[in-house]
């Protein structure tokens, strides 16, 4: 049902999610913005953000795969996927808030606002977004390298 490349992509996507979840939990450990009466716990908020970023990463990887079919550029797929993930995650912060301090998804299953407001809203765009983009770039480069290595044998 699944060929070797699809199994590899799924395995790397699961690894991406695990690394992202562990790193976010470590980074936000002891966070005072999450876990009060109106906001989810750090673990739940990081799980939600990881789930969204992983789905976005998978879609960006597929988009990069379409590019690879038309343009033979070894880094093109990885760069495109990282840019899509980075730009989308960056724009989430602006979309999430209706106005200052009021989240569109407050008290819903999609509430991750406590992670985005840490450090007056500066931590997320300058550390978390680039980390996800870098993780996407690394996963795509590793996937490309493993696919090229497999096709040579």
Domain ranges (residues) in the chain: 4-30+41-152
Q: Which of 1, 2, 7, 53 is nearest to 146 (CA)?
A: 7
Q: What pTM value is reported for the model?
A: 0.85
Within 10 Å of residue 112's Cβ, how many Cβ atoms? 25
Share of the chain above pLDDT 90, in %: 34
What is the C-alpha to C-alpha distance for residues 120 and 41, in angstroms, rounded to an integer?
19
Share of the chain above pLDDT 70, in %: 85
**Element (DSSP H or E) covering residue 124:** none
Predicted confidence (pLDDT) per residue in 60-79, tens digit: 988 877 777 777 776 888 89
What is the C-alpha to C-alpha distance for residues 27 and 29, in angstroms, rounded to an integer?
6
pLDDT band at residue 55, thresholds of 50, 70 and 90?
Answer: very high
Q: Are 63 and 76 in contact (CB under 8 A)?
A: no
In this prediction, residues 81-90 reach a mean pLDDT of 94
In this prediction, residues 10-24 reach a mean pLDDT of 94
């Amino acid at each position: 049902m699944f060929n070797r490349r699809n199994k590899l992509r799924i395995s790397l996507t699961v690894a991406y999610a695990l690394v992202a979840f562990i790193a976010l939990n470590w980074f936000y450990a002891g966070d005072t913005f999450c876990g009060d009466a109106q906001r989810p716990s750090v673990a739940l908020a990081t799980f939600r953000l990881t789930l969204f970023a992983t789905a976005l990463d998978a879609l960006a990887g597929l988009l990069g795969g379409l590019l690879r079919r038309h343009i033979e550029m070894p880094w093109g797929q990885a760069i495109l996927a990282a840019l899509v993930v980075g730009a989308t995650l960056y724009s989430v912060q602006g979309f999430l808030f209706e106005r200052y301090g009021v989240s569109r998804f407050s008290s819903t299953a999609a509430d991750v606002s406590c992670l985005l407001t840490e450090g007056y809203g500066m931590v997320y765009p300058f550390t978390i977004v680039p980390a996800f983009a870098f993780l996407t770039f690394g996963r795509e480069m590793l996937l490309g390298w493993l696919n090229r290595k497999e096709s040579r044998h």
